[in-house]
């Protein structure tokens, strides 16, 4: 068995590795070594530990050697790489290991001296005119995980072309061929440097410059009561600094979650999509009557929002709700101030709410769909350069938002600032953000969206996920929860089929393992394997006469989809 041979080889790497691997049962050995940790378009992500299918210094070095080899083959003069890391276990260690491999290959590195948000790395790559960038983070995954995200010179995550090239280099590398060097030698040769401090200052200023309605911030600066939690991650200092610079005076931090903590000790998962992460913040809000709570994930590229509903209970808004609120707010305020440019464009992913389309149609603004993954939104910003198109906002249902073009990935610092500005605007009208989303529903139609996931680990789980996708692809049901399926979009085969006419058309997006079923009432069911976890995800969208009707339909469709899969 190949995995046993690799296991035996790893026992000789070093004493720490040997100690961790000795005594494991056969199933655990197989899981750690049955494959190399997959390098996808976003890089690596996996459980921390020894083995080829784990995040550790050796897999980080191998991925970095592949990146170094790929960069050198591009023939770029004086290549350089910017590096950032978050608060997770071994993030700082992996960042240094990556830098030293690059340095040993003659590539200069600029590493942030302390932990920083992912979007600040995207900005640093562009500002330093670096060839590429690396962020050591597993984003919102559980504490057992870490990851390695790769960016290219435009500040966006690497495209398929670059990712495939890097992967080919990684596959050709044996562990014994990986280059590295001592830190002191790298510094002496001026190959290993810190990111200049002005980069962060410039970024903070650019975020502040995105404010649209500074008058309403001044008006409500003391009245708007904000609670912020960085959930033990990188957002603590930059988010609070931006809010202070903008003039918000009534901002409290959740002290129990303020400091970096690799164990994320107050939460099960450090994910703002999980309502549980806001329990402490909500207790604070009930005591001081806060208008909203905002919470950023460990690498501060996602942000969650909590507000009071009409019953007076604090509730977490969905990513779709925050996205349409921001879209409507930005378009309305830019139009009000005559700053909405010709050729304005909003970009969303295919699994993100269609309500945004109705808002854009009302403002006569183009909206573009891209595949799931914020890198596709970043690609569109690059594509718009030198054209008549002007990027306004991009968002995805998984709590990722971006305005401006100086960052090319989702940015929770930018989003937090705009969300607070938007909350100030609604408060000036005697409304909460919850009132704001109801106002949008009443104008553009009621809808509800949800996400269901099934976790399937290991070799068997991966096979089962593939079987489920193939089953959906070849044996699609005629109806779900009593609603006929009227159209099917298969993004792997790149074919869209009208069920009633049998007419087929080509999907003009890159190939992706995604299936979408469109229902006669306007509902949508989307299935796709997760790109970062051993899960298959089902995105459900429903429309209704009112919010309760939409949520009732959502539950019925979701229940039937999960029953079908079982």
What is the pLDDT at residue 424? 98
Average pLDDT over residues 492-520: 91
226 with 196, same domain? no
The residue among 444, 467, 498 that closes a domain is 444
Question: Number of structural domains, the chain?
Answer: 3
Q: Which residues pair with 304 in a beta bridge?
A: 295
Tokens of 485: 């399926």
Measured distance CA(554)–CA(548) in Å, rounded? 10
Q: Domain with 531 in it: what CATH number?
A: 3.30.310.50
276 with 415, same domain? yes
pLDDT > 70 in the chain, percent: 99
> Which one is catalytic: 139, 153, 344, 432?
139
225 with 136, same domain? no
Residue partners of 317: CB distance under 8 A and separation at least 6: 304, 305, 306, 307, 325, 433, 434, 437
53 with 124, same domain? yes
Domain coverage including residue 304: 219-444
Least confident of 276-280, 485-489, 531-535: 531-535
Least confident of 140-144, 287-291, 476-480: 476-480
Average pLDDT over residues 262-268: 96
Average pLDDT over residues 149-169: 94
Residue 139 among the catalytic residues: yes
Report DSSP state, residue 277. Answer: G
Tokens of 248: 């918000």
Average pLDDT over residues 480-492: 91
Least confident of 129-133, 318-322, 464-468: 464-468
What is the pLDDT at residue 140? 87
For residue 468, pLDDT over 90 is answered with no
463 with 429, same domain? no
Tell me, yes or no, whether 187 lies in a domain.
Answer: yes
Angle, alpha carbons 38-43-45 (nearest 5°): 65
Using alpha carbons, list the distances in angstroms from residue 129 to 75, 105, 157, 197, 402: 16, 19, 15, 16, 21
Average pLDDT over residues 449-476: 84
What is the pLDDT at residue 469? 87
Tell me, yes or no, whether 20 lies in a domain.
Answer: no
Tell me, yes or no, whether 14 lies in a domain.
Answer: no
Place of tokens 């159209």: 487
116 with 182, same domain? yes
For residue 463, pLDDT over 80 is answered with yes
Tokens of 562: 């999960």
What is the pLDDT at residue 535? 86
Tell me, yes or no, whether 496 lies in a domain.
Answer: yes
124: nearest Cα among 146, 109, 102: 109
Per-residue b or e along 153-184, where b marks 16 or more CB atoms closer than 10 Å to that residue's CB? bbbbbbbeebbebbbebbeebeeeebbbbeee
If you count DSSP H runs as helices and E runs as strands, how many of each does the chain have, helices first?
A: 19, 23
Measured distance CA(48)–CA(146) in Å, rounded? 6
423: nearest Cα among 411, 436, 412: 436
Tell me, yes or no, whether 26 lies in a domain.
Answer: no
Least confident of 113-127, 212-226, 417-431, 524-538: 524-538
Runs of H (alpha helix) within 22-117: 26-33, 57-73, 91-104
233: nearest Cα among 197, 257, 250: 257
Tell me, yes or no, whether 197 lies in a domain.
Answer: yes
427 with 453, same domain? no
**Is pLDDT larger for residue 500 or for residue 360?**
360
Place of tokens 């096979």: 463
pLDDT band at 460 (very low <50, low <70, confident <90, very high): confident
Residue partners of 189: CB distance under 8 A and separation at least 6: 103
Residue partners of 374: CB distance under 8 A and separation at least 6: 157, 301, 349, 394, 396, 400, 402, 409, 410
Q: Domain with 314 in it: what CATH number?
A: 3.40.120.10
What is the pLDDT at residue 476? 67
Tell me, yes or no, whether 557 lies in a domain.
Answer: yes
Taking only the tens place, the pLDDT of each residue in 35-83 is 999 887 678 999 999 999 999 999 999 999 999 999 999 999 999 999 9
- The per-residue DSSP string of 34-52 comes to SSPPP-BTTBEEEEBSSST
Average pLDDT over residues 127-154: 96
**Is pLDDT larger for residue 188 or for residue 531?**
188
pLDDT band at 459 (very low <50, low <70, confident <90, very high): confident
What's 400-422 look like in SS3? Answer: EEEECCCCCCCCHHHHHHHHHHH
CA-derived radius of gyration, the chain: 24
Per-residue b or e along 276-294, where b marks 16 or more CB atoms closer than 10 Å to that residue's CB? ebbebbbebbeeeebbbbb
267 with 404, same domain? yes
Residue partners of 188: CB distance under 8 A and separation at least 6: none
What is the distance between the terminal CA atoms of the chain, rounded to a whole angstrom? 32
Average pLDDT over residues 523-540: 87
For residue 545, pLDDT over 80 is answered with yes
Place of tokens 């995200």: 149
435 with 483, same domain? no
The residue among 201, 232, 247 that closes a domain is 201
Tell me, yes or no, whether 533 lies in a domain.
Answer: yes
Q: Of how many residues is the chain composed?
A: 566
Determine how β-strand 132-136 pairs with β-strand 145-152.
Answer: antiparallel
Measured distance CA(137)–CA(141) in Å, rounded? 9
Taking only the tens place, the pLDDT of each residue in 83-125 is 999 999 999 999 999 999 999 999 999 999 999 999 999 999 9
Residue partners of 264: CB distance under 8 A and separation at least 6: 143, 231, 232, 270, 298
451 with 435, same domain? no
Task: Say if residues 355 and 440 touch (Cβ distance below 8 Å).
Answer: yes
Place of tokens 């909206």: 367
Measured distance CA(404)–CA(206) in Å, rounded? 9
Name the phi and psi angles at 28, rounded to 5: -70, -40
481 with 430, same domain? no
517 with 393, same domain? no
What is the pLDDT at residue 39? 84
Taking only the tens place, the pLDDT of each residue in 375-410 is 999 999 999 999 999 999 999 999 999 999 999 999
The residue among 444, 459, 487 that closes a domain is 444
Task: Say if residues 491 and 507 touch (Cβ distance below 8 Å).
Answer: yes
Mean pLDDT of the chain: 94
Place of tokens 């991925």: 63
Taking only the tens place, the pLDDT of each residue in 287-345 is 999 999 999 999 999 999 999 999 999 999 999 999 999 999 999 999 999 999 999 99
For residue 533, pLDDT over 90 is answered with no
Taking only the tens place, the pLDDT of each residue in 83-93 is 999 999 999 99
Instruction: Give the dihedral of Cα atoms 237, 242, 248, 249; nearest 10 deg.
Output: 40
pLDDT band at 472 (very low <50, low <70, confident <90, very high): confident
């Amino acid at each position: 068995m190949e995995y046993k041979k690799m296991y035996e080889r790893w026992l000789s790497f070093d004493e720490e590795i040997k100690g961790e691997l000795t005594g494991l049962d056969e199933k655990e050995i197989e899981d750690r070594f049955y494959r190399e940790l997959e390098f996808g378009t976003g890089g690596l992500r996996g459980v921390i530990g020894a083995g080829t299918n784990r995040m550790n210094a050796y897999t980080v070095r191998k991925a970095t050697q592949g990146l170094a080899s790929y960069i050198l083959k591009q023939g770029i003069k004086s290549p350089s790489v910017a590096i950032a890391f978050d608060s997770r276990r071994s993030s700082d260690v992996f960042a240094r290991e990556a830098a030293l491999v690059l340095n040993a290959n003659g590539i200069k590195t600029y590493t942030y001296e302390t932990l920083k948000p992912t979007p600040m790395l995207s900005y640093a790559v562009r500002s330093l005119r670096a060839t590429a960038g690396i962020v050591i983070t597993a984003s919102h995954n559980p504490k057992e995980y870490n990851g390695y995200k790769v960016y290219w010179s435009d500040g966006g995550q690497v495209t398929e072309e670059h990712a495939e090239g890097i992967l080919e280099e990684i596959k050709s590398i044996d562990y014994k061929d990986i280059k590295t060097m001592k830190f002191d030698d790298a510094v002496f040769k001026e190959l290993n440097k810190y990111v200049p401090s002005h980069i962060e200052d410039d970024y903070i200023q650019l975020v502040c410059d995105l404010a649209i309605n500074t008058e309403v911030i001044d008006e409500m600066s003391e009245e708007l009561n904000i609670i912020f939690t960085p959930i033990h991650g990188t957002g603590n200092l930059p988010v609070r600094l931006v809010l202070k610079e903008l003039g918000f005076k009534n901002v409290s931090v959740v002290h129990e979650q303020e400091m970096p903590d690799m164990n994320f000790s107050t939460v099960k998962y450090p994910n703002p999509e999980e309502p549980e992460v806001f329990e402490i913040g909500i207790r604070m809000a009930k005591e001081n009557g806060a208008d909203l709570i905002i919470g950023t994930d460990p690498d501060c590229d996602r942000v969650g929002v909590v507000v009071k509903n009409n019953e007076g209970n604090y509730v977490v808004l969905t990513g779709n709700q925050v996205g349409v609120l921001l879209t409507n707010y930005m378009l309305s305020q830019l139009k009000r101030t005559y700053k909405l440019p010709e050729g304005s464009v909003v970009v969303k992913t295919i699994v993100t709410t269609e309500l945004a389309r109705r808002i854009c149609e009302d403002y006569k603004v183009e909206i573009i769909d891209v595949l799931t993954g914020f890198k596709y939104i970043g690609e569109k910003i690059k594509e718009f350069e030198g054209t008549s198109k002007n990027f306004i906002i991009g968002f995805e249902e998984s709590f990722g938002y971006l305005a401006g073009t100086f960052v090319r990935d989702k940015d929770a610092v930018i989003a937090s600032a705009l969300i607070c500005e938007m909350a100030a605007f609604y408060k000036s009208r005697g409304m909460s953000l919850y009132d704001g989303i109801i106002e949008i529903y009443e104008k553009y139609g009621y809808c509800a969206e949800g996400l269901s996931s099934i976790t399937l680990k290991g070799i068997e789980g991966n096979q089962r996920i593939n079987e489920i996708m193939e089953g959906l692809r070849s044996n699609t049901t005629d109806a779900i929860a009593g609603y006929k399926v009227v159209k099917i979009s298969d993004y792997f085969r790149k074919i869209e089929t009208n069920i009633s006419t049998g007419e087929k058309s080509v999907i003009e997006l890159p190939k992706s393992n995604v299936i979408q079923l469109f229902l006669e009432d306007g509902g949508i069911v989307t299935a796709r394997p997760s790109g970062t976890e051993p899960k298959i995800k089902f995105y459900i969208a429903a429309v209704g006469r009112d919010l309760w009707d939409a949520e009732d339909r959502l539950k019925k469709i979701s229940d039937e989809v999960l029953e079908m899969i079982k």
